[in-house]
Amino acid sequence: MKKIIRLIIGSGESCADIRYASGISTPDSFIFYVYDEIRCAIMSPLEIDRARANAKPGVTVAAESEYNGPRRVEILSAIAKRCHCRDFLVPGDFPLALAEKMRHAGLTVAVAEDSFFPEREFKASAEVQFITAAQRAAEAGLARAVDILKKSSIDGEYLAYNGKVLTSEFLRAEIDCEILRNGMLPTGTICAGGSQGAQPHNAGSGPLKAHAPVVMDIFPRSPESGYWGDLTRTVVRGRASAVVRRAYEAVLEAREYCKSLIRPGAFGAEIHCAAEGILEGHGFFTGSNDAGQFGFFHGLGHGVGMEIHENPRLSPRARTALRGGEVVTVEPGLYYPEWGGIRLEDLVWLSGSGEAVCLTTAPDFLEI
Amino acid sequence: MKKIIRLIIGSGESCADIRYASGISTPDSFIFYVYDEIRCAIMSPLEIDRARANAKPGVTVAAESEYNGPRRVEILSAIAKRCHCRDFLVPGDFPLALAEKMRHAGLTVAVAEDSFFPEREFKASAEVQFITAAQRAAEAGLARAVDILKKSSIDGEYLAYNGKVLTSEFLRAEIDCEILRNGMLPTGTICAGGSQGAQPHNAGSGPLKAHAPVVMDIFPRSPESGYWGDLTRTVVRGRASAVVRRAYEAVLEAREYCKSLIRPGAFGAEIHCAAEGILEGHGFFTGSNDAGQFGFFHGLGHGVGMEIHENPRLSPRARTALRGGEVVTVEPGLYYPEWGGIRLEDLVWLSGSGEAVCLTTAPDFLEI
């Protein structure tokens, strides 16, 4: 095999591969390359001390000035010279402008077909612990929300808390504060009530109604480890309607059954389709009309690690089998604009020995 | 001029250009193109309803299915066909893999030399209001921290609050909770005490010392508008040492003098150098040794808008003149590993009429 320099440029905060490989988390992007036994991060003066403190064993941290920096293309030419190799392999999202400058400087740039670090799919026990810690913060945030909902009074159509109308914004801020106090970072918490809950990505806004489902999807990240948790529960403060109760039971059954299918050799598509079957068996069909999509129209689950959405997928197109080591969400949902949404999401680790371990401890209930 | 399709692919949350041009904020990336009078966002089924609700006037929101989606290269070929134009102009960070697939499909892809939307530097009054709103949340977070520091007791070398050792992590979580309760998103808040404050990017960790400076750099973002605020203050709970007091006075003088230099026609480099001159005049020199860099070794300021760091820069290499409409930080700092750091950051809007308006209302004091 021809030798090639594997190159990533990214910030530790937003590029999971560079953080996974280097151990370094930064707000600004930096250069990381792998060649033979060399794994080297090249840092700006502002970041070098912190990078040295955090780098994984075996990773060399060098200053831009040692590589003709700070201009990127000059640093990359210096790397080529040191390695006696002008050929680079980069991820698909590598910036086009820099690739063109590199080619202009006489370097070759090839795009990797596959993931740079496919081993990210298979978690070591330390990684499972990091994910579990983030999951506990999500659960603390959920518990805070449930407490507020319990203490809310039903004031006609809407909920009130401490004498004020309870809003999605207030509930989200309180969940997020609880996550912060647990040492994790909240990111995009969803608190979507009533018909807003029928849009799976709607974060929720405005007053929350009594007797209507509130979808709470909570996915905090650990600032230290970079790993995420992911948790969704849907509750009703007051009395759920008959259709909401039926939808809840169907989604819960689908989630529990699909969790039982997680084992080595199972295909993501097969598990996804099992959820579809159960939901349809309960009379909940999927389709679209002028008001948009309805039913169950997203993937059943996804891997969680240093990215909130990563491989493997539990979706209709997921044609690879689970092997052991994966951490995946199982999150069936039903969405109908007439009454809103129900989504129930657990996190499951398929251990190396082939056992499916649920990492979520939050209880399940609909009405509070 | 040859006609060309200007193309951006990004998520509304992380790509300021696409959010600025489309008004759409999404966690996942989408396609946006500009051609003649057409400004069009192409959305996945999961995002289309929200995108339609949020799109700026004049922006068309189309479904992937209308453009042979969901595969990106097929959507782009469909755009080319509709526009009767196969030539695309993309930003420098456009993903290399997709550019290569486009070329393979017979499309041309050129990289823009300059910013797609250079007008982002010059803020309309609504944008200044969005920035000011985020700045008020930063100030609320700071006020909360100052209150906690005031109520802290001095327990030997360290601070204690409510009977526990006061840590950077606790103080940061409380600042961030206050920001959340003000409806904004905290992002990377810095609370760095003592020698940690000598590293401008160190977020701070562990117990906070009495009688030592605590650098608090707070930059929340509005989830609705996407605009940021940016505020830094440095305080000492207890008695500051003589050198810390002198450094504080020097930095405050530099900040105030440099704010007075912000006017149409002024060059960023010139304002930066004025700060250097004042700090040196107070006997604070810049350099590096085995322990790293010391003195004043970052840019004086940067534009703030839909990115936390954007043009224009107030830095040694900033060779363009201010024109009016810019919002910039002015944040001189001094950093010495022996005692830590002092940074004082205000936000200034250079109005269209040429008046410099300070958007920061947080008071200045050192000891509390």
Chain A residues touching residue B169 (CB < 8 angstroms) = 183
Confirm or reject contact between B1 and chain A (CB < 8 A). Answer: no
Strand order in the sheet with A327-330: A310-314, A301-303, A327-330, A346-350, A356-358
Query: By mean pLDDT, which of A82-91, A162-171, B38-47 is the weakest?
Result: B38-47
Closest by CA to B33, choosing from B2, B70, B71, B61, is: B61
Helix or strand (DSSP H, E) at B181: helix B168-181
From the list A45, A50, A201, the residue facing B50 with the nearest CB is A201
Distance CA A169, CA A192 (A): 10
Residues of B within 8 A of A188 (CB-CB) are: 27
- Minimal C-alpha gap between A355 and chain B (Å): 32
* Domain ranges within chain A, ordered by starting residue: 5-116, 121-358
Residues 102-121 of B with CB under 8 A from A: 109, 111
Task: Say if CB A313 and CB A301 are below 8 A apart.
Answer: yes
Residues A95-122: what's their mean pLDDT? 95
Residues of A whose CB is below 8 A from B95: 92-96
For domain B121-358, the CATH architecture is Alpha-Beta Complex (3.90)
Q: Is B202 on the interface with A (CB under 8 A)?
A: yes
pLDDT at B45: 83
pLDDT at A28: 87
CB-CB under 8 Å, A177 with B183 = no
The answer to whether B202 touches B347, Cβ cutoff 8 Å, is no
Q: Indicate yes or no: CB of A202 within 8 angstroms of CB of B50.
A: yes
pLDDT tens for B172-208 read: 999 999 999 999 999 999 999 999 999 998 999 999 9
The reply to whether B5-116 and B121-358 are identical in fold is: no
**Residue (of A271, A327, A324, A319) closest to A302 by Cα position:** A327
Alpha-carbon distance of A332 to A255, in angstroms, equals 6
Phi-psi domain of A329 (left: phi exceeds 0; alpha: psi -120 through 50; beta: other): beta
Cα–Cα nearest to A171, from B366, B180, B219, B11: B180
Q: What is the pLDDT of residues B235-292, one digit of tens each?
A: 999 999 999 999 999 999 999 999 999 999 999 999 999 999 999 999 999 998 887 8
* B70 inside 8 A of chain A by CB: no
Name the minimum distance, in Å, from the CA of A96 to any CA of chain B.
Answer: 5
Residues forming beta bridges with residue A235, ordered by sequence position: A214
Q: What is the pLDDT of residue A46?
A: 81
**Structure letter (DSSP) for residue B316:** T
pLDDT of residue B1: 58
- Chain A nearest CA to B186, separation (Å): 9
* pLDDT confidence band for B147 (50 / 70 / 90): very high
Stated as kind and residue range, the H or E segment containing B150 is helix B125-151
C-alpha–C-alpha distance, residues A306 and A312, integer Å: 13
Q: Which residue type sits at B227?
A: Y
Tell me the pLDDT tens digit for each residue of B314-327.
999 998 999 999 99
pLDDT, average across residues A200-225: 96
CA distance B272 to B299: 7
**Closest residue in chain A to residue B114, using alpha carbons only:** A97
The verdict on whether omega for the bond into residue A312 sits within 30 degrees of 0, i.e. cis, is yes
Q: Does A145 touch chain B (CB under 8 A)?
A: no
Q: Which residues of A touch B177 (CB under 8 A)?
A: 173, 176-177, 180-181
**Is the model's pLDDT at B35 over the cut of 80?**
yes
User: What chain A residue is nearest to B109 in terms of C-alpha separation?
Assistant: A96
Q: How many CA atoms lie within 13 Å of A162's alpha carbon, on the beta-carbon side? A: 5
Under 8 Å CB pairs connecting chains A and B tally to: 103
Q: What is the pLDDT of residues A291-338, one digit of tens each?
A: 788 999 999 999 999 999 999 999 999 989 999 999 999 999 999 999
Q: What confidence tier does A186 reach under pLDDT thresholds 50, 70, 90?
A: very high
Judge whether B31 is closer than 8 Å to chain A, CB to CB.
no
**Residues of chain B contacting residue A203, judged by C-beta atoms under 8 Å apart:** 223
Where in B167-221 does DSSP place strands (E)? 190-193, 213-218
Residue A69 has a pLDDT of 86
Question: Is A292's Cβ below 8 Å from some Cβ in B?
Answer: yes
Q: How confident is the model at residue A193 (pLDDT cuts 50, 70, 90)?
A: very high
Which residues in B lie closer than 8 A to residue A169 (C-beta atoms)?
183
pLDDT digits (tens, 9 = 90+) for B54-78: 999 999 999 999 999 889 999 999 9
Contact yes or no for B169 and A188 at CB 8 A: no
Do B27 and A201 make contact, defined as CB atoms within 8 angstroms?
A: yes
CATH 3.30.460.80 fits B5-116, yes or no: no
Which chain B residues contact residue A98 at CB under 8 A? 92
B95 with A93: Cβ contact below 8 A: yes
pTM of the model: 0.93
What is the number of alpha carbons within 13 Å of residue B143 lying toward its C-beta?
13
At A256-274, the pLDDT tens digits run 999 999 999 999 999 999 9
Q: Which of A27, A201, A298 sits opposite B201 (nearest CB)?
A: A27
The CA distance from A225 to the nearest CA of chain B, in Å, is 14
Confidence of residue A1 (pLDDT cuts 50, 70, 90): low
- pLDDT tens digits, one per residue of B89-130: 999 999 999 999 999 999 999 999 988 999 999 999 999 999
CB-CB under 8 Å, A46 with B298: yes
For chain A, what percent of residues have pLDDT higher than 90? 92
Chain B CB within 8 Å of residue A287 CB: no
Instruction: Answer whether A297 sits within 8 Å of B49, measured CB to CB.
Output: no
Q: What per-residue confidence (pLDDT) applies to B293?
A: 87
The whole-angstrom separation of Cα A28 and Cα A14 is: 9
A225: pLDDT strictly greater than 90: yes
CA A217 to CA A231: how far, in whole Å?
6
**Could you write out the DSSP letters of every residue in B329-351?**
EE--EEEETTTEEEE-BEEEEE-
Alpha-carbon gap: A121 to the closest alpha carbon of chain B (Å)? 21
Span of A175-184, A282-291, B146-155 with lowest mean pLDDT: A282-291
